Chain A
């Protein structure tokens, strides 16, 4: 068998048992390789469980800096007897397998190299009994992997120090465990020839790791969000928890201890969204963060916010549905339901971040858009973006101030003879509002979800009702130009790809794979709803347009079909991925080639 070398280009998969504390070790591996200047893409595939179920962590090492999951497993670290057989079966021919020595050998995989390590024995002989010992096993495999792949000790040490920066006392014992693994491997194993790491000078300079939930929380702080109401739900909880941690540090007066924020863990999502609208009505910037099941519960209030025209920001960190689904797996399954959430005719502004930086920037943009358009705004993230660590440049300090939209204060009211809460004064379909507490006798109005006239009085007048719905549509139409514009990479090719959110990262790699086969594609990434007008034009400039997304029903495909001109509809194709695991390039390339084959042969 000829062995082509894979320098800086392979995927390490660690298979362990949930609750064994392996996450820190896996992040140390990722971070140490990153410190060599080599781009990495960590992906945690974990169960909905506290302890006992299988969990996997992939560290993709990639000279091109691909951030999507890899289809292949090159290096397996097997520490879960329950999944040993299937984990082994998944290793690429020529791969290497580090495993607990007590696991049965498998003669069927003569095409991989086995490195048997008595992890339990090593831990027993080197460390005192106690709770720490099982965690230290994880650092032993870090040492074995470091030795086999040639990760220098200083990189490991720096990564361990970074991982335990909040408990420096733990650094020494963890490094000792790393040494146990390194020593064991050095004495017994030859380094694999195929998989090697080579330092890339400056390869990761200016980058750092961050997850999308923390980035979104930073966006909320910088957007001046002062009221957050939430109900814990995976995978969105860490967004609000990050917001809490940031506010504890930056929103508390050092002298008086007064807080410039209110964060409420609500009794359910019905209450969380109610608090958001109550707070935004009273003038605060307010948000909630949830996932699919919470979105379903918020439906009624979101319709109220839409119709009564209240700002509010809702983060939906999507997980795999329907129903409880796979609570700890990723999906883009909420696009359609969020876009038109609630009964009656409703349409919402939805922002679609694909990167950590966009999670931060769209969080800020969401508050501005909510205030400007006086309507609920969704930021649709997903578990992959929200909870995985991504390489990112540091987030820039916002250069723009808040856009609080059309709010009349007492001075404004003094200059006006009258005003109407739902009167379209400027012809842009966006009326003016006042805040409770405004000291002017004309400030008050009656906010309601029932039919209302321009003065916000109850009205069942047919023309009035329809006219108001028409104004809301005009407002929505205007938002097409206000949401983040699509990102377009176009060179006059006949075939194009359209995607959004985290699917983007698999598209990047898929286009390279296709290019290697001589197939050039154009690409448009949708970054918000309602659809920007140039999207339809882009589709019409292409013969075939593949809409790639991580859901079963082709939800963006459906929205496009509903909103683009008839002449564009027939150009649309759909590629869908929905098994809960982040999409990889193969999941695009394979169906793309299948669909294109008739075209190519013709």
Chain B
């Protein structure tokens, strides 16, 4: 079984003392033989999710299962074996080793992970046949086109016949002819019963996906109407890391903008008063809140959804 099950995945990076969560409560399932496509803008956590699926990154909380393997419960040695035996990687930048021929690039990981040298090269020849590059076997990456390099990279990922293939932007650096060849190859690999998880910006992959996973940050799916908010001193307008859905204009009183650090300490960033607005960038860009906003004394705010704010308020400022 090569079903992938991701539950409540949280990944947190600490940057300059404050925490950033590219993944916050992510869950999805992909069945064996399914092609799951992760769609979303840069910075939304696609690569982070792939790193977790591939056993390269350990999440803060949540679980990932591939079949009956609990990946999040594996130690470093077992993760190494998991990556070697159960996962094939295809990277956006191809990442072939420049000193090795196409054949050696495919065989090397198998040799380095203990497979008999002759068997590894025989398997490399088979894989070159599968990706249609037998005639380029002895060419180094510099002598291959981008598409050919990516096909070699896919072949390398299949060396140990892994049940899960994860591909990060596999068509990003390719023209449409080369991209088509890679997409066709992914379809063929899926047909063999392999689970494939692909992160991409490329809409060309959407029609062949069995499952589309939108990785947009958690913005409000339903626009909220404009409304007034009244807060007492110290009450929170929003907290750092919250989903960004509204922009606030201060009718009366003052609001403190504060960045909360991992150790619990707080950096005071700004104090804004009546007539000023705040919290607009998160909803516009689709990012979570990068700071907390708290009432400094009693405060009255008007909350707008971003579309209304842009059309009715922003041009007046």
**A and B are interacting partners:** no
